Amino acid sequence: MYDLGMLILDKYNGELEDLFDQVGLKSSTISTGAIPGLAKDIGELFLLHNFGGCAGLILVPSAAGFNLSQLDLIWEAGFGCSVVDFSGDETRADLIDVLTDWGWTGPSDEKPAWLVYD
């Protein structure tokens, strides 16, 4: 059964996939059940590979209502985590600024040339 939180995550995940595809980055979703201690029924979370933590960066919309203890579980599992909302009006330069802040954690030979700082 879908609840509002799952609908928000599904819409958000699709928008983020489109956004990061524009700059050629690998992304996927990860089930909350794959993160120890996190409720399995929350839904699929957006995972941006090679940024944030050693296992990638999970992006959560503020509307999903995650609390600090849930975010701590994500961090403890080796993921970076950021609660962000994109308006859809971001430019490529805006996106690169945000990605630069999150930091590249992937193989150095795969780092995008446009990423100005790691």
Would residue 48 count as lying in a domain? Answer: yes
Would residue 81 count as lying in a domain? Answer: yes
Would residue 118 count as lying in a domain? Answer: no
- Give the model's pLDDT for residue 12: 65
For the chain (118 residues), the mean pLDDT of every run of 10, in chain order, is 48 73 84 84 83 89 77 91 75 80 90 76
- Give the model's pLDDT for residue 117: 60
Would residue 30 count as lying in a domain? Answer: yes
Would residue 40 count as lying in a domain? Answer: yes
Number of domains in the chain: 1
Would residue 116 count as lying in a domain? Answer: no
Would residue 27 count as lying in a domain? Answer: yes
Domain that holds residue 8: 4-110
Residue 35, judged by CB atoms within 10 A of its CB (0-12, 13-18, 19+), counts as buried
